[in-house]
Amino acid sequence: MCLTCGCGSDDVRVSLPGAHHDAHDHHHPHDDGDHGHETVVLEERLLAKNDHLAEHVRGFLAVRRMTAVNLMSSPGAGKTSLLERTIADLGGDRQICVVEGDQETAFDADRITRAGARAVQVNTGSGCHLDADMVGRSLRALDPEPGSLLFVENVGNLVCPALFDVGEHARVVVISVTEGDDKPLKYPTMFAAADLVVVNKIDLLPYVDFDLPRLHEQARSLNRDVAVLPLSVRTGERVRDWYAWLDSLASGIEEGEPHGAAVGP
């Protein structure tokens, strides 16, 4: 059991679409019954180990001159749909690779592969997040070309993925207008860690009770530097602003400033 969030991850599986889904051992420290100080120490050791592995991932990315984005959201916000559209529009300019995180199935990795990108599926079993070790193993399986764009589509969860550095250059939180505009204050750790908040499905704004200025204000109250980008993957409205943000991120990494540009309201 992972002591940071209580999820189990002994049955993590990393696989390429179409390949056999072989199990891989993935061990976290376990609680031996002491729920006091020792638990806190083990949690700190777990995160320290993850941070160490994240630096190795960053080194891999640096050698290959890659840009990596960690996509996080609750289930159904539209991460995979956003990636499909991004691959269709940008995939001809540079190789796009995706690490897909889900507890079970390879549905999303299959969608990404059909869209035209290379993908690896990470099934976490009862685990609720990806970590640096999983992403590192996925990169070895993908063996991406230099200059590739890497997306890590994290497990659908607005809590635990925010705690784990996976070696990314930027963190993007995707929410949809159907989820409500109170998410930043309900899940402050996630939004405080974000570089960009993508508000998807704005084509549905006339039909739902969602206040964009309120969402923007709440997100900025937690992270004054966070950018907020409303868009619609379905209609394509403001999707080009998403692409511009990605371009700015890649340029910033080359110049030693790994953050995307601010976007308008």
List per-block mean pLDDT (blocks of 10 residues) for the chain, which spans 265 residues: 59 72 42 48 76 97 97 97 98 95 96 97 94 97 96 96 97 98 97 98 98 97 97 98 97 72 52
Q: Domain 13-254: which topology? A: Rossmann fold (3.40.50)
How many helices (H) and strands (E) in the chain? Answer: 8, 8
Residue 255: predicted pLDDT: 78
- DSSP structure class, residue 38: H
Residue 235: predicted pLDDT: 98
Residue 35: predicted pLDDT: 47
Closest CA to 152 of 98, 79, 91, 73: 98
Residue 75: predicted pLDDT: 96
Helix spans in the chain (H): 37-63, 79-90, 107-115, 132-142, 183-186, 188-192, 212-222, 239-254
Residue 42: predicted pLDDT: 57
Residue 2: predicted pLDDT: 62
pTM of the model: 0.85
Residue 29: predicted pLDDT: 38
Distances (CA, A) of 98 to 54, 81, 167, 215, 237: 17, 13, 14, 28, 24
Task: Specify whether the CB–CB gap between 156 and 150 falls below 8 A.
Answer: no
What are φ and ψ of residue 93, in 5° steps?
-90, -30
Q: Where are the domains of the chain?
A: 13-254
Distance CA 112, CA 12 (A): 20
